[in-house]
Amino acid sequence: MSESLIKEIYEPLQSMRLIDPHTHINPLQAASTTLADILGYHYYTELAHSAGLPKARIEESGISPKEKVARLIPSLAAIENTAQYSWLLEICQEFFDFRDERITEANWETLYDHSLKKMQSADWANSVLEQSGLDQVYLTNDFDDPLAGFDTRKYVPCLRTDDLVFHLAKPDVRERLQRITGINPGSGDTLRQALGKLFEHFTAKGARACAISLPPDFAPTAITPTAADSVVAKVFAGKELSTDDSIVLSCFVFWSLAEFCVEYKLPFDLMIGVNRRVYEDGVYQGQDLFNSRVSLIQYKALFNAFPRVVFPVSVLAETSNQELVSYSWIFPNVVTSGHWWYSNIPVYIERDTRARLQAVPQTKQIGYYSDMYKLEFALPKFAMYRRILARVLAEDFVLRRAWTVEQAVALGKRVLRGNVESIFGSCE
Amino acid sequence: MSESLIKEIYEPLQSMRLIDPHTHINPLQAASTTLADILGYHYYTELAHSAGLPKARIEESGISPKEKVARLIPSLAAIENTAQYSWLLEICQEFFDFRDERITEANWETLYDHSLKKMQSADWANSVLEQSGLDQVYLTNDFDDPLAGFDTRKYVPCLRTDDLVFHLAKPDVRERLQRITGINPGSGDTLRQALGKLFEHFTAKGARACAISLPPDFAPTAITPTAADSVVAKVFAGKELSTDDSIVLSCFVFWSLAEFCVEYKLPFDLMIGVNRRVYEDGVYQGQDLFNSRVSLIQYKALFNAFPRVVFPVSVLAETSNQELVSYSWIFPNVVTSGHWWYSNIPVYIERDTRARLQAVPQTKQIGYYSDMYKLEFALPKFAMYRRILARVLAEDFVLRRAWTVEQAVALGKRVLRGNVESIFGSCE
Amino acid sequence: MSESLIKEIYEPLQSMRLIDPHTHINPLQAASTTLADILGYHYYTELAHSAGLPKARIEESGISPKEKVARLIPSLAAIENTAQYSWLLEICQEFFDFRDERITEANWETLYDHSLKKMQSADWANSVLEQSGLDQVYLTNDFDDPLAGFDTRKYVPCLRTDDLVFHLAKPDVRERLQRITGINPGSGDTLRQALGKLFEHFTAKGARACAISLPPDFAPTAITPTAADSVVAKVFAGKELSTDDSIVLSCFVFWSLAEFCVEYKLPFDLMIGVNRRVYEDGVYQGQDLFNSRVSLIQYKALFNAFPRVVFPVSVLAETSNQELVSYSWIFPNVVTSGHWWYSNIPVYIERDTRARLQAVPQTKQIGYYSDMYKLEFALPKFAMYRRILARVLAEDFVLRRAWTVEQAVALGKRVLRGNVESIFGSCE
């Protein structure tokens, strides 16, 4: 196939400005301050650990950022082949003037020192946003986040609800809920009121979505406040819950969140399939895996019950993508969302992208989000996606369906940005 | 890769005449009468609905065909990217002289009126068959279809058995069975006799297959007539069945069908994996989805018990294709069949085709069927398949295994038509 | 893409010498003696049977090798399309001077006679090893194999443990264990001692791995010797085990093996996903299939409990590959291993290879093993893999990530051989 055709499609996609609809950015410290913030990303610590670096070396308390980087560098040789490493290299090349082919024990220190200078420059975060072409960055905020001290039109709040649905049995989660809402729930109704306060707070601050990550065995059903009364009373009295109790509580909270999404007109991001703490001795954030035996049929009741809530759905395994494509093709309220975590490598992105572009209405696809913790990662991750997207558009649409380059580029722009605005709200 | 090589393989495949071994054609009204028959295909209504068009707008009773089309046209913009839309465009171009790039609110009425004239021309159905190169079209007939009023050598009957296996608890299904067979079953044996009458009737009319679509949790086991006596008596007395009763009844009927397939020498088409009515408020025929957690191991007992029945197997999810490939590679009585429904888009067809051509005996592959409701759809659907088939033959056989173009074309012809004849019977 | 680039990468991979880290070679009769040894490989007998040749024709006792080949030859026409057939053709071309395009009823006898002469030449096995570039061939030995009469540096022993974990209920397995160890186990501890003797024996003979194939529903848990006492006593008393008993026994033995792998510093090859005897009337070794509903989450406890054991993991279904990639990316002790059985065809090898190279540390990937029963198969199987590997390296690394050819070749050599040596031990 003609590389020049791909380039012709890639260039307008590459130069357009973006909205990143799902990240874990801390808006008060959005950019990296040292290379340790970048190499400390779990993708590198977990790969380095997987390749043999002891966790204790990586996570020793009290080591300096430079020492941490020094310890990680020798492991890079083992992971040079990975897509994750290619992001690192691209970050160093694009932001820190790095010109070598590899980051090695011989050249890392120069890179470290030079990058430090760049990161200490005035307004580094905004430079990164500018160079990356980012207009907006969506956040994933704890439910008790004050959402203060930053520009919520640039860093857009989203309500993360994992703790509420799955961790109310933890005392500190209940305390945080009570503190932020001023409510001490003792019944289904009062817990529901507390949840409502969170939506009020978040939407007042411009929140654009409610979001949650879900284990592969979760299958939400409708639980009324009354049916939840006893288990809510139990958990807020600090009593132990049975497995059945926990399921009732999770379903009740989850279902209530969906109801508030109707009331507050928020999309509900579902990130389906993660098993937490599978590798118990893994590094920080490097312990989770998945079970491919999950099915969206588990969400049948939810999707039917909430026709007015838009559910941007991310799946963790490529084996779930065809179900996602088919559900989005059938259910008006299900839309495809990005390429999550273990599926965020080129081979899976390419296939998932092809299937979605071939079978889901073009208005119902959120092409990509970075999932990043530090701003520097949007650039290489979106670049990876845009290269794949340009190739798929060239092959499947221009060459095989005789679309014009203009049509192909328009489709690319829509999934990259247009749909983010139509689904979550425009960038004022 | 050389496009000219692909073309060299594609042309003889494109010009050959076909048999379509699975459709939902009504032979008494085989072709479309207006564009509403075409746009009313569930692939379009469900995608339009998914993209935002209310079901009530699509299914309002009493609207004219032209009004129905008028209401659907504005939704096409949202689904232009889909493979399904590309079939529509190809139909309009090939059959109705349409020359624009898109079907829009500005040009649809001209298209409607012009296509109407073409469809009203004498012998339209036969023109479509001719232009599509179709020698035979297999049907999927209700068990009480009189099979009269059409040429059964052109429109080949097949016995659809979903109602018998899964819906005998519905009064109208029992009544239809009693009416067509003259038997009022009160035991396993008499129900079996009734089923036998259906095979007698169908084979007398030239039926070539027994067919059924199956939910992902179905796992057939042998049930003798005696073991089914009580549940048959119960259901035909109009009593409620327990879940266990229903399973016994389904298995008994299903197993009996397989036994009659031995006796009447019919292949038994299994279409495995559909969950019915998942989206309860979906448009007509746009409510079904699947659960990828299905396995062909559920059919172990069946495949072992009936070595003399050929089972052309279709799977709904691409994740089931490797199991299908492996079962067809091992079991003499299992053959691969087409690319069904949610898997009938290029990305999945290509991969499934590659795997089957690389690992299943070439004599055991039914390449494609259209699954169409109206004759006009065979042309674009088979064209899509033939383009993909030509590319796979070019890459995997001519380039990578040094086959000649003639060998590759012969393989293509075999899976396109030769195997249909050797498995279901030749086209006299 | 440039074919010359692929060739540039392929050539050094093709000319390098190899270690084959998993085979079923009998070192006392490593090479074929007639073409019947080659065509008798289950890949051909099962495909021929699947294509219609009765099992009784293939497995009739007392027929000569030549007669067996004569009976199989007519079935080859039906399977010419398969990757398996391409290996056969390549064997005949590379080892037996075959020059035709097809093996047919017209030319097979000449081939048979000529190949017989070649196979009868002095030192045929070593010629095959030499022509195939093989330095070492790993075996899969029964636990009571004397491991005598061959050069264990060339033919490397590995302890196959299927019988121990899953078949102690069979009298002959218990007898073999008692005979080889001199122990008559009556308790968890004594059974454990017997297992220890096997490790002692095998490692004394240079064994490099413990290996097992596992059914899709196996989920190992820790069972102490004491907890296993009663079931061990029961089975060695020849009493019937309940299903629960069998699970306890399997888990106890399996867990003990993992403990001995720590003690004897052996990697533990896990080959996950095979259902035995699914097609009960299948030909010899052509009866097994799989169930894609397996998950590596079933091995969570194992991978956590044995951080010091390296687990080279093979999966049977391509749908399990992403889990394998992700587990290898997270768990230091999990490495990817080859392309097993039903996944050993180009379409699956290519995708699995891409995913692994993109996301698993390059030090943790065993690229390929032949799984062969006769030496002649290493050549075509490794050639198939190396062609795919060269293409993936060219596309994903040189073209898309701007690697040099040298870097790409180095990565290829590492997964082909370097990691085999670093994981199992070097080739002295």
With CA atoms as reference, the chain C residue closest to B356 would be: C82
Residue C375 is classified by DSSP as: G
The CA distance from A39 to A21, in Å, is 23
Note the pLDDT of residue B111.
98
* H or E element that contains C211: strand C209-214
Average pLDDT score over residue span C336-360 = 98
What tens digit of pLDDT does each residue of C119-140 get?
999 999 999 999 999 999 999 9
The 10s digit of each residue's pLDDT in A185-203 is 999 999 999 999 999 999 9
Is the model's pLDDT at C311 over the cut of 80?
Answer: yes
Q: Supply B60's token pair.
A: 């309002």
Interface test with C, best of B1, B2, B293, B295 (most C CBs within 10 A): B295
**End-to-end CA distance of chain C, in Å?**
40
Is A362–B279 a contact, with Cβ atoms under 8 angstroms apart?
no
Which chain A residues are closer than 8 Å to C361 by Cβ?
A: 47, 50-51, 78-79, 81-82
Confidence of residue A67 (pLDDT cuts 50, 70, 90): very high
Q: CB-based burial of residue C24 (10 Å sphere; 0-12 exposed, 13-18 middle, 19+ buried)?
A: middle
**Collapsed DSSP state (helix, strand, coil) of residue C55:** helix
**B225 neighbors B192 (Cβ within 8 angstroms):** yes
Confidence band for A428, pLDDT divided at 50, 70 and 90: low
pLDDT digits (tens, 9 = 90+) for C237-291: 999 999 999 999 999 999 999 999 999 999 999 999 999 999 999 999 999 999 9
Query: Among B336, B348, B358, B407, which would you mutate to test the C interface (most chain C Cβ atoms within 10 Å of its Cβ)?
Result: B358
Alpha-carbon torsion, ordered B330, B334, B335, B336, to 10 deg: -90
**DSSP for B287-337?**
--EE-S---GGGGHHHHHH-TTS-EEEEESSGGGHHHHHHHHHH-TTEEEE
Residues 6+ positions from C175 with CB-CB distance below 8 Å: none
Determine the 3-state secondary structure of A22 from DSSP: coil
Task: Name which of B355, B357, B361 is nearest C50 (Cβ-Cβ).
Answer: B361
DSSP structure string for A64-95:
-HHHHHHHHHHHHHHHTTSHHHHHHHHHHHHH
Contact A249, A232 (CB under 8 A): yes
Question: Percent of chain B beyond pLDDT 90?
Answer: 99
Contact A329 B346 (CB under 8 A): no
Cα C396 to Cα C418: distance, rounded to the nearest angstrom: 21
Nearest CA in chain B to C76: B361
Q: Identify the H or E element spanning C131.
A: helix C124-132
Residues of B with Cβ-Cβ distance to A296 under 8 angstroms = 289
Q: What is the least distance, in Å, from the CA of A348 to any CA of chain B?
A: 13
Average pLDDT over residues A11-28: 98
Sign of the dihedral through C-alpha A185, A187, A190, A192: positive
Q: Which residue of B has its CA nearest to C321?
A: B319
> Which chain A residue is nearest to residue B342, measuring alpha carbons?
A326
How high is the pLDDT of residue A2?
82
Q: Give residue-wise pLDDT tens across range B113-128.
A: 999 999 999 999 999 9
pLDDT digit string (tens) for A330-343? 999 999 999 999 99
The Cα of C358 is separated from the nearest Cα of chain A by a number of Å equal to 4
Chains in contact with B, where contact requires at least 3 CB pairs less than 8 Å apart: A, C
What's the gap in Å between the CA of C73 and the closest CA on chain A? 39
pLDDT of residue A271: 98
Which member of B52, B80, B290 has the closest CB to residue A326?
Answer: B290
pLDDT of residue A426: 87
Q: Among residues of chain C, what percentage have pLDDT more than 90?
A: 99
Q: Choose the mutation target among A290, A294, A295 for the interface with B, i.e. most B CBs under 10 Å.
A: A295
Subunit partners of chain C (3 or more CB pairs within 8 A): A, B
**Has residue C427 got a pLDDT over 90?**
no
Residue of chain C with shortest Cα separation from A320: C319
Give chain A positions within 8 Å (CB) of B99. Answer: none
- Residue B237 carries which DSSP code? T
From the list A232, A239, A304, A317, the residue with the least C-alpha distance to A271 is A317
Helix, strand or coil, per DSSP, at residue B19: strand
pLDDT tier, A427 (very low <50, low <70, confident <90, very high otherwise): confident
User: What is the pLDDT of chain C when averaged over all its residues?
Assistant: 97
Question: Both tokens of residue A224?
Answer: 């009324």
Task: For residue range B37-86, list pLDDT tens digits in order.
Answer: 999 999 999 999 999 999 999 999 999 999 999 999 999 999 999 999 99
Sign of torsion over alpha carbons C338, C342, C346, C352? negative
Would you say residue A204 has pLDDT above 90?
Answer: yes
**Pairs of residues, one from chain A and one from chain B, whose beta carbons lie less than 8 Å apart:** 97
Tell me whether residue C133 is exposed, middle or buried, using C-beta atoms within 10 angstroms of its C-beta: 0 to 12, 13 to 18, 19 or more: middle
Q: Looking at beta carbons, which residues of chain B come within 8 Å of A356? A: none
C81 vs B contacts (CB less than 8 Å): 357-358, 361-362, 397, 411
Residues of B in contact with C318 (CB under 8 A): 322
What is the model's pLDDT at position B427? 76
Which ranges constitute the DSSP H helices of B158-289? 162-166, 171-181, 188-204, 225-236, 243-264
> Chain C contacts of A275, Cβ < 8 Å?
297
pLDDT tens for residues B189-229?
Answer: 999 999 999 999 999 999 999 999 999 999 999 999 999 99
User: C363 vs A51: CB contact, 8 Å cut-off?
Assistant: yes
Q: Which amino acid is at B119?
A: M
Q: Hey, is B90 helix, strand or coil? A: helix
How do residues C381-408 score in pLDDT, each as one tens digit?
999 999 999 999 999 999 999 999 999 9
Q: CB-based burial of residue B57 (10 Å sphere; 0-12 exposed, 13-18 middle, 19+ buried)?
A: middle
C158: enclosing H helix or E strand:
strand C158-160
> Which of B291, B316, B326 should we substitute to test contact with C (largest number of C Cβ atoms within 10 Å)?
B326
Q: In the structure encoding, which two tokens stand for residue B132, read together? A: 């599509």
**All chains having 3 or more CB pairs closer than 8 angstroms to chain A:** B, C
**Nearest in space to A398 (alpha carbons), one of A186, A390, A112, A132:** A390
The pLDDT score that the predictor gives to residue A1 is 58
| Percent above pLDDT 70 for chain A | 100
pLDDT given at position C383: 98
Residues of B with CB under 8 A from a CB of C: 293, 295-297, 300, 303-304, 307, 319-320, 322-323, 325-332, 351, 354-355, 357-364, 396-397, 400-401, 411
d(CA A257, CA A262): 9
Give the H/E segment covering residue C53.
Answer: none
- Does the pTM surpass 0.80? The reply is yes
Please give the sequence-ordered ranges of beta strands (E in DSSP) within A316-386, or none if there are none.
334-337, 365-366
In this complex, the residue of A322, A363, A397 whose CB is nearest that of residue B78 is A363
Q: Closest approach of chain C CAs to the CA of A261, in angstroms?
A: 33
Measured in degrees and rounded to the nearest 5, phi and psi for residue B99 equal: -120, -5
Q: What are phi and psi of A350, to 5 degrees?
A: -60, -45
Chain B: nearest CA to C342, how far in angstroms?
Answer: 6
Name which of C253, C244, C195 is nearest C222 in CA terms. C253
Q: Are the CB atoms for A296 and A335 separated by under 8 Å? A: no
For residue B295, pLDDT over 90 is answered with yes
C364: nearest CB among A50, A80, A292: A50
DSSP state at residue C289? E
The whole-number pLDDT of residue B340 equals 97
Given C304, C319, C363, which is nearest A78 (Cβ)?
Answer: C363
The token duo for C294 is: 């397996």
Query: Does B46 sit within 8 Å of A329, measured CB to CB?
Result: yes
R_g of chain A, CA atoms, integer Å: 22
State percent of chain C over pLDDT 70: 100
The pLDDT assigned to C423 comes to 98
d(CA C399, CA B267): 49
ipTM (interface pTM): 0.97
| Alpha carbon distance C179, C191 (integer Å) | 13
Do B297 and C287 lie within an 8 Å CB cutoff? no
In angstroms, rounded to a whole number, what is the distance separating the alpha carbons of residues C187 and A276? 37
- Mean pLDDT to the nearest integer, C141-145: 98
Residue of B nearest to A355 (CA): B347
Residue C428 pLDDT class (50, 70, 90 cuts): low
Average pLDDT over residues B170-187: 98
Chain B residues with CB under 8 Å of A303 CB are 279
* Distance between B364 CA and the closest CA of chain C, angstroms: 7
The nearest alpha carbon in chain B to A331 belongs to B50
User: Could you give the CA distance from residue B52 to residue B75 in angstroms, rounded to a whole number?
Assistant: 8
Using CA atoms, how far apart are residues B293 and C301, in angstroms rounded to an integer? 23
DSSP β-bridge partners for residue B138: B156
Interface probe with A: pick from C302, C322, C398, C416, most Cβ of A within 10 Å? C322
C-alpha C210/C-alpha A335 separation (Å) is: 47
The whole-angstrom separation of Cα B129 and Cα B153 is 14
**Residue B1's pLDDT is what?**
58
CA distance C175 to chain A (A): 39
Reported as a pLDDT band with limits 50, 70 and 90, residue A319 is very high
